Chains A and B, each alone.
Chain A
Amino acid sequence: QKEVEQDPGPLSVPEGAIVSLNCTYSNSAFQYFMWYRQYSRKGPELLMYTYSSGNKEDGRFTAQVDKSSKYISLFIRDSQPSDSATYLCAMTGSNYQLIWGAGTKLIIKP
């Protein structure tokens, strides 16, 4: 079993829909949880960063961490075609080494 599980998709939704992306993990030592966005032919870029449990909001994006369930989510409101990308979850404990999900390919249809 992988330490971090993420559905690779693709996930296709119409423009304007609310998107929910998820990852589960097995290591209870993880404290830092990240979402990276990767456009085609580009490197990943940090989108959201959360420490421990709780919610964090940034514009149309909300990151949610439930450590009791070992489950993290990224919600995108009012999705736009420009949100079409691969979204990678990543997490780490205190050693700065990131453990990555496989990435979910998201397609927003105009």
Chain B
Amino acid sequence: EAQVTQNPRYLITVTGKKLTVTCSQNMNHEYMSWYRQDPGLGLRQIYYSMNVEVTDKGDVPEGYKVSRKEKRNFPLILESPSPNQTSLYFCASSPLRAGIQYFGAGTRLSVL
């Protein structure tokens, strides 16, 4: 089954404790992206990658890191999480047909 898989689905952590949210897609898509979704603010892009070893900042990259060492994986790293990073995070991939993106089920993160 074609899908984007994120893990974990739920995560509660404390300020400053490094964490990684994994994202994997099995559709051989070049493009991958991370979003956060907050009430009233909609989806905001954190980082995106057009291909292996190519990453670019989105609208809200501060406090986040990404890497793209393999085509299928695009982990999101929070090196020192803060409470304002409490949010719902989505990973997405695209075959680079404009506008068509496939989303994971989401990771709900709480930073205490």
Q: In the complex, what's the smallest C-beta–C-beta distance from A89 to chain B, in angstroms?
A: 10
Do the beta carbons of B105 and A42 come within 8 Å of each other?
A: yes
- Quick check: is B14 within 8 A (CB to CB) of the other chain? no
Residues of A in contact (CB 8 Å), total 25
Give A6-42 interface residues, CB cut-off 8 Å to B.
6, 8, 31-34, 41-42
Do the beta carbons of A102 and B105 come within 8 Å of each other?
A: no
- Quick check: is B48 within 8 A (CB to CB) of the other chain? yes
Give B26-76 interface residues, CB cut-off 8 Å to A.
31, 40-45, 48
Q: Per-position contact with B for A76-96: 1 when CB-CB < 8 Å, else 0?
A: 000000000000101110101
| B104 proximity list for chain A (CB < 8 A) | 43
- Given the interface contacts A8-B40, A88-B43, A94-B98, does A41 sit within 8 Å of B106 by beta carbon? yes
| A103 proximity list for chain B (CB < 8 A) | 42
- Quick check: is B2 within 8 A (CB to CB) of the other chain? no
| A43 proximity list for chain B (CB < 8 A) | 4, 90, 92, 103-106
Q: Please give the residue numbers on chain B whose beta carbons come within 8 Å of chain A beta carbons, in ascending order.
A: 4, 31, 40-45, 48, 90, 92, 94, 96, 98-106
